Each structure stands twice: as C-alpha cells, then as structure tokens.
Amino acid sequence: MARDRIVTPDSHATDPPERVGAPRPRKLEEFVGQPQLKDRLGIALEAAGSRGDPMEHLLLHGPPGLGKTTIAHIVAEEMGAHAYVTSGPALTKGADLVGTLTRMQPGDVLFIDEIHRLPAAVEEYIYPAMEDFKIDFTLDGGMHARVVTYNLKPFTLIGATTRAGLLTGALRSRFGIAHRLDFYQHGDLDEILDRAAARMGISLDSGEARALLAARSRGTPRICLRLLRRVRDYAVVRGEGIITAEMASEALRLEGVDDLGLDPLDRAYLKVLAETYEGGPAGLEAIAATLGEDSGTLEDLVEPFLLQAGLLARTRQGRQLTAAGRERAGCPGQDSPLFEP
C-alpha cells in the first residue's frame, strides 16, 4: 500500500524529470517560501561574492520534499558555478568522493543528499576537504606506506538530511551555516502552484482550485506539484483541460486524498487505533500487525504527518489519538468524517 502513496514527500516513480515538469527556480528571488533561509543565504552569497570566495558550507535538514536540492542548484547558479549532485549511499568508498572533488573548479558546489548515511571511511576524507581544501592519499602499505596530499580548489559543500540527529558531531561542526526547512504555508503553496501552472501550460480556473490543492498538500511543494499533475490529467480526460475547484475535488477524491491531505493508509491507521484499540495507547508493532504493514513504514511515512496535523500523540505507553484525532476518526460515541475521501 505504502509504495503507491501519492502523498508521500519522498521522490515518486511517477514524478517526471525536470525537463518535462515544472523547472526548478534558478535564482534566490524566484524561490518561494522559507523567508528566513532566503535572508541568510542572500547575505552569505553577497558577502562571499564580494570577497571572491566560495560560500560557507551549508547543512539543510528537515522533511523530504521541501526544496533542499533546489536550494543547492540556486546557490551554484548565484555563484556562477557548477553543481555536482550525489548522495550518501552512493559514496561507498573514499575513491568515489575523491574523483568528484578533484574534478571541481573554484567555487563549485558539491551537494550530498542524505549525508547522514555516509560511510565512516568516506566521512574521514570530507573533514580535511571542508576545512583546508585538501585530501590525503595513502600509497603502498606497511613500512613503505607514504601519504600524499592533494590540494583541492575552494568549493562549497551542501549537505542535506532528513535525520539530522544521525550526523556525527565532527561533521556537523564543520558546516558554517545550518538551517532547518519548515513546512510551507498555504499562501506560499498557492504561489508555487500559480508559477508551476504557468510553466506547465495548465489552466487553473480560480483561486479556489489552488487553495484546495494547497490545503491537501501537507505543506510540501513536492506533493503539491504531484497533485497538480494528477488533477491536470483528470481535467484533460474528463473535462476540457481547465482545472476548476469541482474538477480538482473530484480528481483528488478518485486518488483517495481527503480534505486534510490524508490518504487511505493514513485513514486506515487512524481507524485501527480508534476502533481496535479504542483510541490508544497502543504499541507501534501491534498497530503494524493489525494493518499488515511494516512498522518502519508507519513510523517514517505515516506518523510524521499525523503528528504534525495534531491527530496523533506518541506517549510512553504507545501511540494515542489526540482529541482532534478521536473526533476525526470517530471513536466510540463520536461521528466520523474520516473514512470517505
């Protein structure tokens, strides 16, 4: 069930490549939302440009789908440099990282997604590269071993992670700027939808249609744009290609996304906790067994939004519905608005 969720903030198999979707903003002024981060980056970029230096290393953390990769490309564009994109799991040995670092030109940006998953051996290469722009090679072995130092061109490392707590203290301390990305307000999502619709040639009939899509996007631009594409397809096939509020509502009902952005797995979770466990508290493993889902899937993909929406609480005794969650899920004695999208 979880693999096909349209409201997951992670990258989705149905997400088109950038060249056929809404292109990413390339300048800081085009980036919508995250005003505090924009202010901090604007100052850092201008200061670095005036000195002729690369910008300080930047750590971005927070839930997926909020624009961390986009920001990395914006920094590279503003610095007039090239962005090299990789991920922690892809760098399995030191040579993988060294090959990229030695190709980079002055001011280039290295973006490492899920940087908390870097192997320890690779992380050791990053420390001197970040601090002194150099890496050390060990040649031969035993009594014939010798260390060769290779000087790198000054660069900016941008690390992104959804689990900042798993970063080692040594790595975290080497970033000059660290910032947590927040979920987006509906007004920002409206603007993102407006720009994306114009770039993709989509006709949005009214602000009501944008507001409906924004309200069901869980504060996440990636989900917002994914819903827009699904509604566009529905409007082309079942309508005249114009997205009205009624058309958007019908398309999202077909996708199983309700007025709060909950999908069938979210509703099943709440229903089990409300009906089988009488609102809780209940253990995660017990809920997962009842649903026939993996407990890790529920913890990583379902619970974060339920917690954010104030429908669920984690207690020492287990998972428990809040007052809002009990009302929405229809615990005994209460009506449920929940289980029809």
- Averaged pLDDT of the chain: 84
pLDDT for the residue 140: 63
Q: What percent of the chain has pLDDT over 70?
A: 88
Q: Tell me if domain 186-255 and domain 264-329 are identical in fold.
A: no
Lowest pLDDT segment from 23-27, 83-87, 242-246: 23-27
pLDDT for the residue 308: 85
Say which of 8, 69, 161, 220 is annotated catalytic.
Answer: 69
Topology of 34-180 in CATH? Answer: Rossmann fold (3.40.50)
Element (H or E) spanning 197, and its range? helix 186-200
Q: Is 113 a catalytic residue?
A: yes
pLDDT for the residue 143: 66
Buried b (16+ CB within 10 A) or exposed e, 312-326: bbeeeebbbbbeebb
pLDDT for the residue 341: 44
* For range 5-29, the mean pLDDT: 66
* For range 197-204, the mean pLDDT: 81
Residue range 186-255 forms a domain whose CATH class is mainly alpha
pLDDT for the residue 333: 46
Judge whether residue 340 has pLDDT over 50. no
Can you tell me the distance from the alpha carbon of 299 to that of 130, in angstroms, rounded to the nearest whole number?
34
How many residues are recorded in the chain?
Answer: 341
pLDDT for the residue 4: 64
Say which of 113, 188, 258, 263 is annotated catalytic.
Answer: 113
pLDDT for the residue 23: 63
Say which of 216, 222, 229, 232 is annotated catalytic.
Answer: 222
- The whole-model pTM stands at 0.81
Contact call for residues 269 and 287 (beta carbons, < 8 A): yes
Judge whether residue 179 has pLDDT over 90. yes
Torsion of CA 55, 56, 62, 64, to 10 degrees: 40
Q: In sequence order, which residues have a C-beta less than 8 Å from that of residue 182 and are 6 or more positions away?
A: 34, 62, 66
Say which of 5, 68, 319, 326 is annotated catalytic.
Answer: 68
* For range 213-230, the mean pLDDT: 90
pLDDT for the residue 279: 85
Query: Which residues, listed in sequence order, are joined to residue 87 by a DSSP beta bridge?
Result: 113
pLDDT for the residue 339: 45
Say which of 8, 156, 162, 244 is annotated catalytic.
Answer: 162
Q: What is the pLDDT of residues 316-332, one digit of tens each?
A: 999 999 988 888 886 55
Strand 312-315, strand 318-321: pairing: antiparallel
Can you tell me the distance from the alpha carbon of 88 to that of 69, in angstroms, rounded to the nearest whole number?
14
Q: What is the pLDDT of residues 70-112, one digit of tens each?
A: 999 999 999 999 999 999 998 888 778 888 888 899 999 999 9
pLDDT for the residue 336: 47
Would you kindly state where each structural domain of the chain is located, as residue ranges?
34-180, 186-255, 264-329
pLDDT for the residue 289: 93
- 57: region left, alpha or beta (phi > 0 left; psi from -120 to 50 alpha): beta
- For 210, counting Cβ atoms within 10 Å of its Cβ (0-12 exposed, 13-18 middle, 19+ buried), the class is buried
pLDDT for the residue 335: 47
Can you tell me the distance from the alpha carbon of 59 to that of 165, in angstroms, rounded to the nearest whole number?
13
Higher-pLDDT residue of 285, 141: 285
Topology of 264-329 in CATH? Answer: Arc Repressor Mutant, subunit A (1.10.10)
Judge whether residue 149 has pLDDT over 90. no
pLDDT for the residue 139: 67
For residue 40, name the pLDDT band (cuts at 50, 70, 90).
very high
* For range 162-179, the mean pLDDT: 88
